[in-house]
């Protein structure tokens, strides 16, 4: 796989004794300039290898939403966890977008898949970017442990779960807030997958967490935590969370699914529970 070009630091802000930073680099996989954010916790020694958590954000987001809204840095600093926040899609003038500028397709809506269809397939290779190219760049530029945790929200929850279930030896734990879990059977997923992957639904299973969990069956062992707000407007409309819990119960997988009255789909929900998620991951990092 071609290597990314060198990092350019765009900003750096002292934060809870560590640093919240933003970088850009040329992605060879996506063939565009990409940005990502990181929180680097304070360390006793520059030689310390940090545990890392990748956070995948949802529709319309960039690398900045989680960094500015979730309030994760305080606990990450305490636990010594590096937070890595990639963008949600390729970007740039040459990168195609939805013809009607729809929020659920194109820019900000990659669904973290490797597209196979025109006009998407040249740039929209986000699965390879998240699984291979970005971790390789992080390992080159920062001192991090080999295994990482992964988490996300909504479309990013789909990405985190799907990627973890496809790479159970690469990630020590996975968590999600209000995730799309069965994209083959909800409006958001069907729209995106039909454009990015084509109309043949046999090609969708590799990116569907319910299908992947069934495939893993009794071999599945990665610790999983999923939180869902019961006042989330998308909970029923997009079939969030519950279908995956049903599969977990079906195969006897001891994932933890929690439901919370009064909470919606917003970052108010994420910020209310992010500390619990970070402490969950810290047990395995």
Active-site residues, by number, are 154, 232, 265
> Residue 151: CB partners within 8 Å, gap ≥ 6?
53, 54, 55, 56, 157, 160, 174, 175, 176, 177, 277, 281
DSSP 49: P
- Token pair for residue 169? 């030896």
Quickly tell me which residue has 């956070």 as its tokens: 55
Strand partners, 86: 36
Q: Alpha-carbon distance 83 to 43, whole Å?
A: 14
Q: Give me the helices (H) in 105-241, please.
A: 126-128, 134-141, 155-166, 187-196, 209-216, 234-237
């Amino acid at each position: 796989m071609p290597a990314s070009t060198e990092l350019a630091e765009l900003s750096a802000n002292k934060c809870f004794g560590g640093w919240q930073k933003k970088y850009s680099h040329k992605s060879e996989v996506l063939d565009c300039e990409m940005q990502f954010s990181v929180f680097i916790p304070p360390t006793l020694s520059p030689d310390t290898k940090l545990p890392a958590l990748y956070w995948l954000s949802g529709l319309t987001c960039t690398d900045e939403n989680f960094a500015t809204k979730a309030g994760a840095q305080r606990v990450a600093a305490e636990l010594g966890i590096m937070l890595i926040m990639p963008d949600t899609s390729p970007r740039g003038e040459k990168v195609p977008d939805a013809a009607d500028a729809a929020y659920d397709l194109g820019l900000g809506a990659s669904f973290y898949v490797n597209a196979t269809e025109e006009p998407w397939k040249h740039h929209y290779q986000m699965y390879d970017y998240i699984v291979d190219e970005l971790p390789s760049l992080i390992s080159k530029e920062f001192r991090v442990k080999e295994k990482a945790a992964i988490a996300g929200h909504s479309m990013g929850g789909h990405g985190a779960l799907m990627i973890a279930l496809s790479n159970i030896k690469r990630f020590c734990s996975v968590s999600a807030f209000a995730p799309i879990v069965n994209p083959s059977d909800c409006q958001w997923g069907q729209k995106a997958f039909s454009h990015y992957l084509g109309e043949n639904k046999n090609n969708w299973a590799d990116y569907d967490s319910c299908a992947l969990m069934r495939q893993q069956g009794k071999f599945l062992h990665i610790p999983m935590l999923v939180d869902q707000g019961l006042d989330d407007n998308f909970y029923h409309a997009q079939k969030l969370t519950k279908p995956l819990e049903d599969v977990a119960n079906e195969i006897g997988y001891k994932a933890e699914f929690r439901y919370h009255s009064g909470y919606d789909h917003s970052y108010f929900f994420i910020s209310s529970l992010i500390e619990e998620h970070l402490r969950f991951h810290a047990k395995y990092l």
